[in-house]
A and B are shown apart, each in its own frame.
Chain A
C-alpha cells in the first residue's frame, strides 16, 4: 500500500485545475528546467527532430557523391567551404566524416535519445498511472546531459580538422591516431567527450524508467496489465543500463590510448615514417567492448518502436494485441539474447573462429522471437476493423520494414555467408531497414498517435498520410536496391567505386537510391510543418481521440504537472479489451471495473469482481489512517 500513500500526498499539491498549473512556476521552470516528464519528453522530441534533420541532410550530401559522382557540387561551397574541393567534389575525408556523423547522430541522438527519451518519458508515468517519474530532478539532468553532449558533438562538426571520421564504430587504431586521419584529432576527442556525457544522460534516464515502472504503478496496474509500450521501454532501459557502461569503459580506454600513451588497443604500428612505441594491445579488444554495447544498442533502438507499434496496431485494428504473453516473452527473450550475440559483427576480424560458431548459433536463435512478433502483429490485423490513421500507417510500415530488414539478418548472422557480405551494401540495406527505418517509423507513429496528448491538438491527418506514402515508398526505394549492390560485393564507406573493374557498375541503381533519398528527406518537411503548425493551429483534440483503453487517455486534454487533476485512477483490466463480445462500445478503458461490464466479462473475469470489491475495501481502510 506504500504507493497509495505516496499518491495521496501528491494529491494535495495537484488538486487545482490543470489550467492554473503553469501559474506555479515561471517560464524557466515550466519550459526549460522543467521536472515534468511531459515537458522533458517534448524537449527530447524536439532535440531529436533537430538532430534527425542534420543526420538526414548529411546522408543526402554523401548520397549526392555516390549517386552523381560527376556532378559539380561547387554550389555547396557557401555551406561547406573547404570541404568542397576546387574541382567541386566532396573532399574524400569529409565524405567519411559525413558517414561517421550520420551514423552517430542517427543511432544515438535520434533513435536512442530522441525515441526512448521522448516516449519512455512521456508514456511511462501516464500509462502506469504515476504523477511523474521517480526522480523528476534526475530526469531533468538526463535531458541536460544529453543537451550538453549534443552541443559538444555539434561544435565538433565545425572544426577545421573535421569531426570524428573513422566510422560510427570508431575502431582504433584509426580513431586513436591523429596522424591516421585528420578527424581523429580534436574531432575524435570531442566525440568521446560527447559520448561520455551521452552515456551519463542515458543511465540517468534508464534508472528512472526502471524505477518508475517497478515502484510507481497505480493501484491495480499489475505487470500483466501493463501496456506493451511499457514492457518495451522497461526492457530497453534494462538493456541500456547494463550495456552503456561497457561503451563508457571502451571509450575511457580509448581516451587513455589517445592521450596518455597506454597500449590497450595499439600494438606494432608504423605510421608516417615512425614506429610507435605501443606494444601488446589489441584492436579486437575494442571491437568486443564496442559491440557489447553496439549490438544491444540496436535493440535499444528497435524495442521502443515495437512497443509503440503494438499499442497502435491493437488500437486501430480495434482488436486486442494477439498473444500478449508471447509478445512480452519475446521481448524478454530478445533482451536476454541481445547480450550474447555481439560478436556476429566480428566474424572476419581475426577473432577465434570457434567463437564465430557460437555466435552464429546464438544470433540465429534471436530470429525466433523476432519472427513471433511479426506473426503476432499480422494476426492482430486479421479480422480487425482497421482504421488507417497516420500512426497506424506508420506502424504497418514498421512491421513491413522489420520483416524485410530482419530476414536479411539470417544471411548475415550465418558466419559462412557473412564472409562475403560483411561490410558490403547488403549490411547497409539490412540494418537501415530493420533498425533505422523501422525504429524511425515507430517514432513517427508515436508522434502522430500521442500528439493529441502532448499538445492538446490533432495533427493534420491528410498531411500525415501524404507524409507516410512518400516516406514508405521512399525508404524502400532507398534501401531495397542496396541489396543487389551488396550481393555484387560493393564495399560500404567507399567514396567511389570506379577504381575497381569489379564494382564499376550500378551507376543507375546508385542514382535511383540518391534521388529516392532526397525525396524521402524532403517528405519529412511535410511532417515538420504539420508538427509545428498543428501545435498551434491544429484542431482541438478530444481527451481520447483514438478511443483507446490505456490510462493516458483518462487525463484531461492538457494534463498539468501531476497528470490527473484528482486521484489517480485505479486499473481493473488489461489495456487491450477492444471489440469485446457483448460490450456496447468497441473499447473498454482500463479504468472500468469488471463489475460494471457483466455483459462482456469472460468467465474467469467474473471471478475477479469479488477481488475488485476487496481492493476497494482496502482503499477505504487505507484512507482511515
Chain B
C-alpha cells in the first residue's frame, strides 16, 4: 500500500518536473518576442485582491465569532486591562488597515509600466517628522494609561485581603489557606517537605496549626484576594483566564498577585447561559511533560458562602494528627485546640510519652 502511494508521489513529481521543463523550452522559443517584465501586472492585481479579501475576511471573522474568542471578564482590574486591550486594538487596527491598503494599493497603482519613469523622491524631513511624532504621541498615551493600570495592579494588597497560597509542582496545584482561627499562613521550609507534609509546614510555628489544604481554589466575590505563589520543583505559572491574572510560580521565592473577583461561579453560569460553567486555572510556564494537564478548579462564592466553606474545612494538622509529634511540646495543646483535634482521642491514638504528658 505505502509502496503504491510512494510510486504515485514519485510519478506526480516527475510529471510536475516535465511540465516545468516543457514550460522552460517553450519559454526559450518564444522568449525573444516577449516584452520586458511580462506578467508583472498579475502580481499587482493579486496583491490588491489579497488585501481586499484578507481585510474583509478579518473583519467578518472578528465580528461574527466575537463571543468565541473573547472570554467574559470577572475581575475589577480585568475590566481595566480589557479596556486598554481594546483601545490598543482600535488604534492598531486603524493603523494596520490604512497602512496595508495604502501599501498594496501602491504596489498595484505603481506596477511597472514601460512608458513611465519612477519619481526621484529621496527624502522629506517634513514627512519623517510627521510620522515620527504621531506614533510617538499615540504610544505615549498608551504607555501612560498602561502604567496607571499596571501600578494599580501591582500596588501592595491591603491588610484585609483574603490570602491564599498556591503551590505549583509537577504536575498539580495545591492551595493552602491561613485557617479561620489565626488568619495567618504558617511558616514553611522546603526541607521539611515529605510525602504527607507536602507544604513543608514548619510545625514549630503556631500559625501553621489551623492552615488547611484545598485541591480547588475557592475565592470570595467582591473581596480583595492576595495570591501568594510558590513552586516546589520547577517554574510554573498561575493563569486565571477569566480574572486576567497571571503570575509565575518560582522555586525559592514568593510571587504575589492581588485582585478582586466580581462574579461568582453562579453569576457566570447565569451570564454565559451554561449551567456547567466552571472557572479554571492553568499553568502557563513550560514545566515538563504534564504541563498541559495542570488544571485547577476555581470556585467563586458569595462572601458569606465563602466564610461557610472555610469554616467547614479541616485543618491539615487534624487530617494528619501523627504530625503532632513534630510540634514542640509547649505548643501542643494550642495546636490541638487550633486544629480542632479532640484532646482525648489523640491520647489514645498515639501513645508517645509526650502526648501523655500533655494530657496529664
Chain A residues with CB under 8 Å of chain B are 75, 91-93, 96, 166-167, 171, 173-174, 177, 180-181, 266-271, 273, 275, 279-284, 317-326, 348-350, 353, 356-357, 360-361, 364-365, 367-368, 371-372, 374-379, 381-388, 393, 396, 399-400, 403-404, 407-408, 410-411, 414-417, 419-420, 422-424, 460, 462-463, 465, 469, 472-473, 476, 480, 484-485, 487-489, 491-497, 499-503, 505-506, 576, 578-581, 586
Residues of A within 8 A of B190 (CB): 268-270, 275
Chain A residues whose C-beta falls within 8 Å of the C-beta of B233 in the assembled complex: 173, 177, 180, 269-271
Interface segment, one of B277-285, B304-312, B333-341, B350-358: B277-285
CB pair A349–B250 under 8 Å, yes or no, is yes
Q: Determine the residue in chain B with the shortest Cβ distance to A358.
A: B147
| CB <8 Å contact, A411 and B250 | no
A387 and chain B: residue at smallest CB distance: B112
Closest to A173 in B: B234
Residues in chain B near residue A393, CB distance under 8 A? 43
- Residues B85 and A411 in contact, CB atoms below 8 Å apart: yes
B244 lies within 8 A of chain A by Cβ: yes
Q: Which of B92-100, B201-209, B323-331 lies at the binding interface?
A: B92-100
Contacts of B121 in A (CB 8 A): 319-320, 322, 379, 382-383
**B106 x A381 contact (CB < 8 A):** yes
Contact status B247-A267, CB under 8 Å: no
Q: Is A171's CB under 8 angstroms from B70's CB?
A: no
Q: Which of B54, B120, B283 contacts A578 (CB 8 A)?
A: B120
A495 — nearest CB in chain B belongs to which residue?
A: B292
Q: Specify which of B139, B193, B291 is in contact with A494 (CB 8 Å cutoff).
A: B291
Tell me, in angstroms, the Cα distance from A165 to B149 when the chains sit together.
Answer: 36
In the bound complex, how far is the Cα of B124 from the Cα of A357, in angstroms?
Answer: 35
Cα distance A609–B211 in the bound complex, in angstroms: 87
Whether A388 contacts B111 by the Cβ 8 Å rule is: yes
Q: Are A411 and B88 in contact (CB under 8 A)?
A: yes
Give the complex CA separation of A417 and B245 in angstroms: 11
* A368-B99 CB under 8 A given contacts A166-B286, A578-B118: no
Contacts of A403 in B (CB 8 A): 96, 99-100, 103
Q: Are B284 and A423 in contact (CB under 8 A)?
A: yes
Residues of A within 8 A of B244 (CB): 419-420
What residues of chain A lie closer than 8 Å to B113, measured between beta carbons? 385
B290 near A350: Cβ-Cβ < 8 Å: no
Known: A385-B118, A580-B120. A484 touches B232 (CB 8 A): no
**Once the chains bind, are A273 and B154 in contact (CB under 8 Å)?**
no
**Chain A residue, CB-CB nearest to B134:** A371
- The listed residue (B92, B123, B251) touching A173 by CB distance below 8 A is B251
Measured CB to CB, the closest approach of chain B to A482, in angstroms, equals 11
Q: Which residue of chain A is the closest to B40 with respect to CB atoms?
A: A388
Contacts of A387 in B (CB 8 A): 37, 40, 112
Interface size class of B (residues with CB under 8 A): 35 or more
> Is B287 an interface position by the 8 A CB rule?
yes
- Among A324, A420, A423, A492, the one with the most B-chain Cβ atoms within 10 Å of its Cβ is A420
| B288 pairs with A361, CB closer than 8 A | no
Taking CB atoms, residues of chain B closer than 8 Å to A495 are 289, 291-292
Taking the closest CB of chain B, its distance from the CB of A344, in whole angstroms, is 12
Min CB gap A321→B, angstroms: 8
Chain B residue at minimum C-beta to C-beta distance from A329:
B128
Could you name 29 residue pairs across A and B whose Cβ atoms are closer than 8 Å? A92-B290, A93-B288, A93-B289, A180-B170, A181-B289, A269-B232, A350-B247, A368-B135, A368-B136, A372-B132, A378-B102, A383-B118, A396-B107, A404-B96, A404-B100, A410-B88, A414-B88, A416-B150, A417-B88, A460-B20, A484-B61, A494-B292, A497-B292, A499-B292, A500-B280, A500-B295, A501-B280, A502-B280, A502-B282
A-B contact count (CB 8 A): 331
A550 to B1 Cα, complex, angstroms: 55
Q: Evaluate contact between A281 and B118: CB separation under 8 angstroms.
A: no
Given contacts A360-B147, A491-B284, contact A317 B118 (CB under 8 A): yes
Tell me, rounded to whole Å, the shortest Cβ–Cβ distance linking B125 to chain A: 9
Question: By the criterion CB–CB under 8 Å, are B117 and A385 in contact?
Answer: yes
**A487–B288 CB distance below 8 A:** no
CA distance A574 to B119 in the complex (A): 17
The distance from the CB of B149 to the nearest CB of chain A, in whole angstroms, is 4
Interface residues, chain B, with chain A CB atoms under 8 Å away: 2, 20, 23-24, 37, 40, 43-44, 46-47, 50, 54, 58, 61-62, 65, 68-71, 78, 80-81, 84-85, 88-89, 91-92, 95-96, 99-100, 102-103, 106-107, 110-113, 116-124, 127-128, 131-132, 135-136, 139, 142-143, 146-147, 149-151, 153-154, 169-170, 190-191, 193, 195, 200, 229, 232-235, 237, 239, 241-242, 244-248, 250-253, 255, 276-278, 280, 282-293, 295
Q: Are B81 and A419 in contact (CB under 8 A)?
A: yes
User: How far is the CB of A443 from the nearest CB of chain B, in Å?
Assistant: 20
A349–B256 CA distance with the chains assembled, in angstroms: 10
Given A171-B235, A173-B251, A365-B139; A383-B119 close (CB under 8 Å): yes
A499 touches B127 (CB 8 A): no
Residue of B whose beta carbon sits closest to that of A349? B248
* Docked-complex contact A410 and B139, CB < 8 angstroms: yes
**Which residues of A are found within 8 Å of B135, using beta-carbon distances?**
367-368, 371-372
Q: Contact between A488 and B289 (Cβ–Cβ < 8 Å)?
A: no
Bound: A581/B118 CA distance, A: 9
- A491→B96 contact, CB < 8 A: no
Contacts A350-B253, A411-B85; A488 near B71 (Cβ below 8 A): yes
**Nearest 10 CB-CB pairings of A with B:** A267-B252, A353-B154, A350-B255, A489-B241, A383-B119, A388-B43, A579-B118, A414-B146, A416-B149, A381-B106
Chain A residues closer than 8 Å to B237, beta-carbon distance = 348, 423
A322 touches B286 (CB 8 A): no
The chain B residue with its CB closest to the CB of A480 is B58
A465 to B47, CA, bound (A): 12
In the assembled complex, which residues on chain A have CB atoms less than 8 Å from the CB atom of B131?
371-372, 375
Q: Check B245–A419 contact: CB distance below 8 A.
A: yes
The answer to whether B92 touches A407, judged by C-beta atoms less than 8 angstroms apart, is: yes
Which of chain B's residues have a CB closer than 8 A to the CB of A473? 50
Q: How far is the CA of A403 from the CA of B99 in the complex (A)?
A: 8
Cα A57 to Cα B238 in complex, Å, equals 32
Partner of B123, one of A271, A323, A385, A410: A323
**A417 is contacted by which of B81, B242, B287, B289 (Cβ under 8 Å)?**
B81
For residue B220, give the distance in angstroms from its CB to the closest CB of chain A. Answer: 21
Given known A-B contacts A174-B234, A385-B112, A501 and B278 have beta carbons under 8 A apart: yes
Q: Closest Cβ of chain B: how far from A356's Cβ, in Å?
A: 6
Q: A489 — which chain B residues lie within 8 A by C-beta?
A: 71, 239, 241
Do the beta carbons of B96 and A180 come within 8 Å of each other? no
Name the residue among A270, A365, A469, A488 with the largest chain B CB count within 10 angstroms: A270
Q: In angstroms, how far is the closest chain A Cβ from the Cβ of B133?
A: 9
User: Bound state CA distance, A100 and B290, in angstroms?
Assistant: 16
Which single residue of chain B is at the shortest CB-CB distance from A488?
Answer: B69
Complexed CA–CA distance, A99 and B90 (Å): 33
- B120 partner, pick from A365, A396, A404, A579, beta carbons under 8 A: A579
Taken together as a complex, chains A and B put the C-alpha atoms of A250 and B261 apart, in Å, by 40
In the complex formed, the residue of B with least CB distance to A586 is: B117
Given A317-B110, A360-B150, A495-B291, check contact A460 B95 (CB 8 Å).
Answer: no
